[in-house]
Structure 1
Amino acid sequence: IDNDLGATDQTFGFDTAIQIATDALDRIRDTADSHDRVMLVEVMGRNAGWIALHAGIAGGADAILLPEIPYRAQVVAEMIQRRRSAGKNYSVIVVAEGATPYGGEVSQLEARLGEMPRLMGAAHRVAAQLDDYLHEASMRVTVLGHIQRGGSPTTFDRVLATRYGVMAAQLVHEEQFGKMVALRNGEIVAVDLKEAVTAPKLVDPSSQIVSQAREIGICFGE
């Protein structure tokens, strides 16, 4: 669901995940507004911040913290203070689980032998850092966690997965192995597995979508 697989424009499950996260943000923004609170919402995204970026834009987040853009808590705190000065006494901050402070490391639990380290506590860490600058602020953290992986898929994901399945069956029938089905420019194509796993697809801090998010006032903690 992280949409971080190389060689394809979009992975199946991503659209559903951002819809779930966006729905949650819509509800959280309402309670943030009514209770004058700073709400931090942690979403999945170990190395790639696609879920945080898309859900944050769609859900009207005031700040989005991504693994690809190291953040400074002071910059986020200043954004919150500017909103208060403008009469907006609440803020919604979307935090990818792999978000990292400038000069720091990702927040994670120690791994058992042979296991991948579990990321945990990114949003709680941001809240603690903000508290150093906003002592009087009422902050709450919501970790969406595994609900992003479940539920009914969106129409887009249903169609995409069906198209992937048809192409995969065709490849097996033609004995074209070592391939991955991918979406490119609206078409389903076959790509070499090596190409697919060579490098993850990460958010480019200089990409158009990030620039457009900045233009509408979203803070990335830079």
Structure 2
Amino acid sequence: MRIAINTGGGDAPGLNAAIRSATLAALKRGWEVFGIKNGYGSVYTEKPFIKMDEESVRGITLLGGTILGTANRGNPFEMPYEKEDGTQGLKDVSDHLVAKFNEYNIDALVAIGGDGSMHIAHKLTQKGIKIVGVPKTIDNDLWGCDVTLGFDTARSIATEAIDRITTTAESHERLMVVEVMGRYAGWIALYSGLASTADVILIPEIPFSYDSIVEKIKERRSKGKNYTMIVVAEGAKPEGGDIVTKGKTLGQQEQLGGIASQVAHELSERTGQESRSVVLGHLQRGGSPTTYDRLISMRYGASAIRCVENGDFNELVVLQDNKLTTIPLSEVAGKMKYVPLDSDIVQTARDVGICMGD
């Protein structure tokens, strides 16, 4: 058996642990293992597949990032290229990718990635490539999976950052707005906001009202609390408003960001209180993974190899009710897991007095 491993989309803590686990599990079975650099990028170079051995993955479990590199512009079905007139276009180069897999006798691919990567993986299965997916995204928005690798570290980093900013907010009696990642789902904002005892949490699933936030600020002032901590997901938006974006590069998803600055400015105008905004950004992606992320990543990686061994292809390894199982890639493609508004964690936030913006 000859398998390949790649990591696609944004990096996430735990990727290296998953790579190591899958590699060692495959080598133990006597298989050959190859890495694909930068998503699918190296498939289009002179050395498409890099041989992996025990030395390749030694000591990488504790490291952030991915030794294979990653890319969010490497969709083989929509690859950016420069036209003759100098403008940029997109072309389908997936047939070349399939041909390289066949040329090098790659029997299966372990694709580690999020919703975009799984969408690509599903389309590649329709071209004959046998794939087992591993769920990766700090956003935790992959449909059908309770927890994705990278989420625990991201929410932990966000919680620590909010804790630190809270002391500054209290010292200066300011409104502090902290923007966290998550794209169109509010998992990071909700978990880190609740854990750090934020006063306001704004998530994409609940369009927010500035009047509601102002009322919360006034309520706190009436109790002698002259500062307010506001955690906002990058995909949150006001009622009747739009998501704030930074634009879109050809071949990439639109870049979200900037909502914290808008919220801070608007609240300062409405309350007359000094405000500041902080964007945590890629800080949430970097650094050593937590114990939980190391373990879940290793479990996912080893489980993917068991799937290959058993011939369970075109599936995504997922955690459901604290048990590993698989679901078809076709069920995941094009779907997103949002925060359920009737979940106990949303109810908990409301019960302890956190304003959710509505």
Matched, 1:207 2:343: yes
In the alignment, what sits opposite 2:310?
174
In the alignment, what sits opposite 2:92?
none
Q: Which moved more, 1:195-204 or 1:8-17?
A: 195-204
What is the aligned residue count? Answer: 221
Query: Aligned to 1:159, which of 280, 295, 299?
Result: 295
In the alignment, what sits opposite 1:106?
243
Distance 1:115 1:161, change over 3 A: closer
1:96-135 superposed matches below 5 A: 96-135=233-272
**Do the aligned residues in 2 keep the contact of 1:6 with 1:198 (CA within 8 Å)?**
no
Matched, 1:19 2:162: no
1:210-221 superposed matches below 5 A: 210-221=346-357
Gaps of 5+ in 2: 1-137
In the alignment, what sits opposite 1:40?
177
In the alignment, what sits opposite 2:192?
55
Structure 1 runs, 4 residues or longer, greater than 6 Å off: none
Q: Distance in 1 between matches of 2:211 and 2:244?
A: 18
Matched, 1:184 2:328: no
SS in 2 for 1:18: helix
Query: Aligned to 1:88, which of 225, 239, 242?
Result: 225
Q: Once the two structures are aligned, what percentage of the paired residues are identical? A: 50
SS in 1 for 2:247: coil
Q: What CA RMSD, in Å, does the superposition of the two structures yield over aligned residues?
A: 1.1
Gaps of 5+ in 1: none
Q: Which moved more, 1:55-64 or 1:199-208?
A: 199-208
Q: 1:175: Cα distance to partner?
A: 2.4
Query: Is the strand fraction higher in 1 or 2?
Result: 2
Q: 1:178: Cα distance to partner?
A: 0.3
Q: 1:198: Cα distance to partner?
A: 4.5
Q: Partner amino acid for 1:200?
A: M
In the alignment, what sits opposite 2:134?
none
- What is the TM-score of this pair, normalised by structure 2? 0.60
SS in 2 for 1:101: coil
**Do the aligned residues in 2 keep the contact of 1:74 with 1:133 (CA within 8 Å)?**
no
**Do the aligned residues in 1 keep the contact of 2:176 with 2:264 (CA within 8 Å)?**
no
Higher relative contact order (CA 8 A, sep 6+): 1
SS in 2 for 1:109: strand
Q: Which is higher, the Rg of structure 1 or of structure 2?
A: 2
**Do the aligned residues in 2 keep the contact of 1:74 with 1:130 (CA within 8 Å)?**
no
Q: Distance in 1 between matches of 2:146 and 2:158?
A: 20
Q: Partner amino acid for 1:103?
A: G
Q: Distance in 2 between matches of 1:65 and 1:78?
A: 15
- What is the TM-score of this pair, normalised by structure 1? 0.96
1:193-204 superposed matches below 5 A: 193-204=329-340
